[in-house]
Structure 1
Amino acid sequence: MTTSYAGEPTAVANAKIVGRLERIPVTRRLLMIRVIIGSATFFDAYTVLVIAFAMPALVTEWGLSPGQVGLILSAGYVGQIFGAVGFGWLAERIGRMPTLLITIILFVSMDIACLFAWNGASMMVFRFFQGVGTGGEVPIASAYINEFIGAKKRGRFFLLYELIFPIGLMFAGIAGYFLVPNFGWKALFIVGLVPAILLIPLRFMMPESPRWLASKGKIARADKIVSMLEREAVREGKPLPEPVERPIDARATARSDWRELFRGIYLRRTLMIWGLWLCAYMINNGMVTWLPTLYKTQFGVGTQDAIFLGWITSAVGVLASVVCALTIDRVGRKRWYTWAFLLAVVPLVTLFFLGATSAIQVTIFATATYAILQTVTFSLYLYSAELYPTRLRAVGTGFGSAWLRAGSSLGPVIVGFIVAGVGIQYVFLTFAAVAVLGAITIGKLGIETKGQVLEELSP
């Protein structure tokens, strides 16, 4: 099915590639792409949260103060800020696949380094550099997955991939519950070495994004990949309707310029998505990384039981994410996010007035908050990728998710200082105020993206 585009302007050829790509059904290869990239994302999520379940043991072993705990928990997120921005820029220059390989190599090598940490300071340094790798992987993987799927299938297909992230968070809790009491905290980091084996299929079995290739004028390579997908759809007996060719703005094949994020229609979108990343992750990661330690230090819960209570929160978050993945294409992104932020205020304020006086009380209401906002946090990569054109998608998603990292690094530090200063219940009042800010941000600045072709949303 290879098509000749010789002599055609790049923008015209790009439009034809996109039209053919939009009609392709979900084939076995696309499912394989989702599984392989999802596996990398699974261990990225595991790596992000594993320190929370190692921390109760480290507090005892290294005699860490609440302030030191907060700094260690935040170090990885600070590194992710640099990774999200730097690797997002690199993915626009050299492609999605080469950059993904670099990020995985980095976070696996730093996982090895964490095994040899000897005190809080060394762990903080290793977690920072590990964060650089993990911070780059997810936004690039998100851009990559989005660029293969047509508008009608994009939300469900992408979020079923993205569902692997909260499952990875939950797995970190399961691993912590069984491994830490029996084998020590280092066993958690040994499990994190598994992604090294993913480098082989990533290197040799995964095609580059045809949308990225076409946007760079590499039409022949893009055509070869799309033709392969078309042939596979035919062999599998899947319907392959005639492509609908839509005009594509000439800027679609222009050189990527990060400054465009702050011009025209993209300025409003950029400010909006930054606010959503910051608010949602400041609350959720501020809570979930601290909960096992709070259960042990504030309520005297044993290490294994503290880890189990933390796991409950992650598990309920996965269930909420499944509901979101199956329904957000009908509800819409803007409406879903607005109501999620507003609903999250209720358990947070309730916990403040109750005083957060027991582990069970905190488990119930913190878990409710986490589950509600998990539907936002795990789907923001979908929304971010929909807000920008191909030439800006990786860097725009990277810049946006840098605020995820900022919120995630700020959240644990805020918890540490509030707990040490005025008491645990004020943590939840502070987070309630942040949730209100998130609702205002999406309500005032958000746009609806469901069911629309990427090139129509973002010229």
Structure 2
Amino acid sequence: MREPNAAGTRPDIATGGTAFETDVPARLDRLPWSRFHWLVVVALGITWILDGLEVTLVGSLAGAIHDSPRLRLTETQVGLTASAYLLGAVFGALFFGRLTDSLGRKKLFTVTLLVYLVATIATGLSWDFWSFALFRFLTGAGIGGEYAAVNSTIQELIPARRRGVTDLSVNGTFWAGAAFGALGAVVLLDPAVIDPELGWRMAFCIGGALSAIVLLLRQWIPESPRWLMTHGRPEEAERIVRDIEARVEADRGPLPPVEGRPIRLNRRGHTTIREAATTMFRTYPRRSVLALVLMACQAFCYNAIFFTYALVLTRFYGIPSGDIGWFMLPFALGNLLGPLVLGHLFDSIGRRVMITATYALAGLLMAATGYAFAQGWMSAVGQTAAWTVIFFFASAAASAAYLTVGESFPLEMRAMGIAVFYAIGTGIGGVAGPALFGALIEGGARENIMWGYMLGALLMLIAAATEWRLGFAAERRSLEDVAAPLSSAGA
């Protein structure tokens, strides 16, 4: 094993500051998979489980919340509370994403989890539509901030050769949370077990209990060495990498040699919003268009269909609200399996081919299912089976959208880039979707809902075409190779 280079500094006349060389990225990328990486995945990946839990709880509990003697929400109000959650996620992503790039990954993934913990428990104490919507907004703010802080940290700590499959699999665990939420709803809405009015309120405590446990695990996750090195703190980055190498070597034995040459960086101040915007829209305009299209299209389809599926089951198929969880469960499992089964292909076959294929397949199948629904050809079981197959592919596609955004931009603005496109995509596609479908369902016409499904299918096909035209190769490449840091010498 080659001895790691201590990060050295020397005066840099061209920049008027100091420059240094570091092999931190190469050393992190060459590490074998170990218990340290599992800790990162579990402690940080819980974000997607919590988000899946929240989305499924509201979907599965929609009937009980609608019938609550204190809340009595209409179908449109149920859709609006889903939109409030997503608006909160947009706000949280932008606000906390900015802080993540300026203050560090570790501080923010602690703060955002605390925001989520308090807000989700408060949701169970709601007394009317406005209080419920407010607490859903704050819960979404915590989750949105988590996406920016956690996505950037995971990508910066996972070796390049495993980044694709790991990122997709972690994003896919959203559906483990969804399955957990569906099962929890079945139990907590069973009148033989508990009063449904109390049950739906207790359901929101599940996420709070999980996040309290995860707070303890996160104390063992270090600050991202890549964030430190691009913020002029190479000595701290060096110390943390040595600690990580020691933990991995104790677990897996002697480490492989470091490949490639060190990179040379300039010490610099924080990245301004103007500099981030210039980088996104002038330096990388094609990647920005791609990120926007992928995020917005998948957000519309997922949030529109998933947030309102319980209403479809109760209104058009007569499924009791207490049984909704049984229909959400296979839907969730299909979504979970998609990234797990297909994820490794994004590292071997490549991003461009796999992202195009998964978006296109999901769009075509969604159009066919929408037409079958309008014609009344499917039962509740058949409808659920169709969505399970569709979102097997759509789940991998959606996870790849987050992967693409994270890989598209330099390290100094990675969290902000994730936050901006998550916020824009969710704002365009996610907030409008549940409100639109809630209104269509309340209208009671299958044909109108079909056109909503057709719109979702069209958007997925547009995303597939955009990926084929603008997609770029990032598989098995270091983050610094895909997008050079802003602090790179000569940048």
Query: TM-score, normalised to structure 2's length?
Result: 0.87
Contact 1:283 1:411 in 2 (8 A): yes
Q: Are 2:308 and 1:297 aligned?
A: no
Which residue does 2:489 correspond to in 1?
A: none
Note if 1:389 corresponds to 2:410: yes
Q: Deviations over 1:223-263 (max 9, x none)?
A: 01111122223333434233234464757956323223434
Where does residue 124 of structure 1 map in the other structure? 133
Secondary structure of 1:217's aligned partner: coil
Other-structure match for 1:414: 436
Instruction: Please say if 1:84 is aligned against 2:93.
Output: yes
Instruction: Please identify which structure carries the higher helix content.
Output: 1
How far does the alpha carbon of each residue in 1:11-44 deviate from its partner, in whole angstroms, 9 at most, with x for none?
A: 8645422222222222222221222112344223
Question: 2:101, 2:416 within 8 Å by CA — same for their partners in 1?
Answer: yes
For residue 424 of structure 1, the aligned residue among 449, 469, 477 is 449
The answer to whether the Cα contact below 8 Å between 1:139 and 1:381 also exists between their aligned partners in 2 is no
Contact 2:280–2:409 (Cα < 8 Å) also in 1: no
How far is the alpha carbon of 1:160 from its aligned partner? 3.4
Contact kept, 8 Å, 2:121 with 2:205, in 1: the verdict is: yes
SS of the residue aligned with 1:110?
helix
Give deviations 1:385-433, integer Å, cap 9, x for gaps: 1111110111111112113432222211121223334532222122122
Distance in 2 of aligned mates of 1:326 and 1:26: 15
Provide the residue aligned with 1:196 in structure 2.
212
Q: 1:355 to 1:3 in 2, by over 3 A?
A: closer
Of 190, 195, 209 in structure 1, the residue corresponding to residue 224 of structure 2 is: 209
Structure-to-structure mapping, 1:42-53, within 5 angstroms: 42-53=49-60
Q: Is the 8 A contact 1:27 1:236 kept in 2?
A: yes
Match of 1:446 among 466, 471, 477: 471
Cα shift at 1:145? 0.9
Name the CA shift for 1:444/1:210 in 2 (closer, same or farther; >3 Å).
same
Q: Pairwise mapping of residues 138-157 of structure 1 onto structure 2 (< 5 A)?
A: 138-157=147-166
Distance 1:387 1:262, change over 3 A: closer
Rate the CA distance shift 1:7–1:431 in 2: closer, same or farther, 3 A. Answer: closer
Contact preservation (8 Å) 1:12, 1:248: no
Asked if 2 retains the 8 angstrom alpha-carbon contact of 1:19 and 1:243, the reply is yes
1:186 aligns with 2:201: yes
Match of 1:243 among 245, 250, 258: 258
Moved more, 96-105 or 1-10: 1-10
Instruction: Name stretches of at least 5 consecutive residues in structure 1 with no aligned partner.
Output: none
CA shift, 1:207, in A, is: 0.6
Q: Select the residue among 460, 481, 486 that pairs with 1:435.
A: 460
The CA RMSD over aligned residues, in Å, is: 2.2
Q: 1:46 to 1:252 in 2, by over 3 A?
A: farther
- With over 3 angstroms needed to count, the CA separation of the structure-2 counterparts of 1:346 and 1:228, relative to structure 1, is same
- Is the Cα contact below 8 Å between 1:23 and 1:150 reproduced in 2? yes
Distance 1:201 1:347, change over 3 A: closer
- 1:333 & 1:104 partners in 2: Cα distance? 31
Distance 1:12 1:113 in 2: 49
Structure 2 spans left out of the alignment, 5+ residues: 13-17, 485-491
The match for 1:224 is 239
Q: 1:399 aligns with which of 420, 423, 426?
A: 420
Deviation beyond 6 Å, 4+ runs, structure 1: 9-12
Question: What's the offset of the Cα at 1:309?
Answer: 1.1
Question: Which residue matches 1:278?
Answer: 296
Give the length in aligned residue pairs: 458
Task: Note closer, same or farther for the CA distance 1:362–1:221 as it changes in structure 2 (3 Å cut).
Answer: same
Q: What is the rounded CA distance, in whole Å, between the counterparts of 1:143 and 1:303 in structure 2?
A: 38
**CA contact 2:299–2:430 (8 Å) conserved in 1:** yes
Relative to structure 1, the CA distance from residue 180 to residue 278 in structure 2 (aligned partners, 3 Å threshold; closer, same or farther) is: same
Question: Partner letter of residue 373 of structure 1?
Answer: A
Segment drifting more, 106-115 vs 333-342: 333-342
**Aligned residue identity for 2:23:** K
Q: Distance in 2 between matches of 1:90 and 1:391?
A: 12
**Residue type of the partner of 1:47?**
E
Partner of 2:33: 26
Tell me, in whole angstroms, the C-alpha distance in 2 between the residues paired with 1:344 and 1:237: 40
C-alpha distance after superposition, 1:296-355 (max 9, x if no partner): 122211123322112221111111221122322112222112112221233222223324
Distance 1:18 1:326 in 2: 22
Q: Distance in 1 between matches of 2:64 and 2:438?
A: 17
Whether the aligned pair in 2 keeps the contact of 1:214 and 1:253 (CA below 8 Å) is: no
**Residue range with higher mean Cα deviation, 333-342 or 75-84:** 333-342
Q: Distance in 2 between matches of 1:431 and 1:6?
A: 53
Q: Secondary structure of 2:355's match?
A: helix
Aligned in 2, Cα 1:180/1:8: closer, same or farther, shift over 3 Å? farther
Question: Residue 25 of structure 2 contacts residue 478 of structure 2 at CA under 8 Å; is this kept in 1?
Answer: no
Amino acid at match of 1:328: F
Give 1:456 deviation, angstroms: 0.8
The 5-angstrom pairing of residues 337-352 of structure 1 reads 337-352=355-370
Answering whether residue 456 of structure 2 is matched by residue 457 of structure 1, we say no
2-side partners of 1:246 and 1:267: how far apart?
A: 29
- Give the secondary-structure state (helix, strand or coil) at the position aligned to 1:147: helix
> For 1:451, what is the secondary structure of its paired residue?
coil
Q: Quick check: 215-224 or 303-312, which moved more? A: 303-312
Task: Tell whether the 8 Å contact from 1:89 to 1:395 is kept in structure 2 after alignment.
Answer: yes
Structure 1 residues 164 and 352: alpha-carbon distance in aligned structure 2, compared to 1, 3 A threshold: closer
Q: Does 2:249 align with 1:234?
A: yes
Contact 1:140 1:394 in 2 (8 A): yes
How many angstroms apart in 2 are the aligned matches of 1:438 and 1:127?
29
User: Which one of 114, 120, 126 corresponds to residue 123 of structure 2?
Assistant: 114
In the TM superposition, residue 372 of structure 1 has moved relative to its aligned partner by: 1.6
The amino acid across from 2:465 in the alignment is I
Shift of 1:127: 0.3
How has the CA–CA distance of structure 1 residues 123 and 350 changed in structure 2, closer, same or farther, with 3 Å as cutoff? same
CA distance in 2, matches of 1:158, 1:352: 30
The 3-state SS of whatever aligns with 1:240 is coil
Distance 1:270 1:248, change over 3 A: farther
Distance 1:21 1:355 in 2: 50
C-alpha separation in 1, matches of 2:162 and 2:373: 45
Alignment of structure 1 residues 47-66 onto 2, 5 Å:
47-61=54-68, 62-66=71-75
User: 1:179-213 deviations in whole A, cap 9, x for unaligned?
Assistant: 222332012111121112322332x3221000000
Secondary structure of the structure 2 residue equivalent to 1:208? coil
Q: TM-score, normalised by structure 1?
A: 0.93
Where does residue 7 of structure 1 map in the other structure?
9
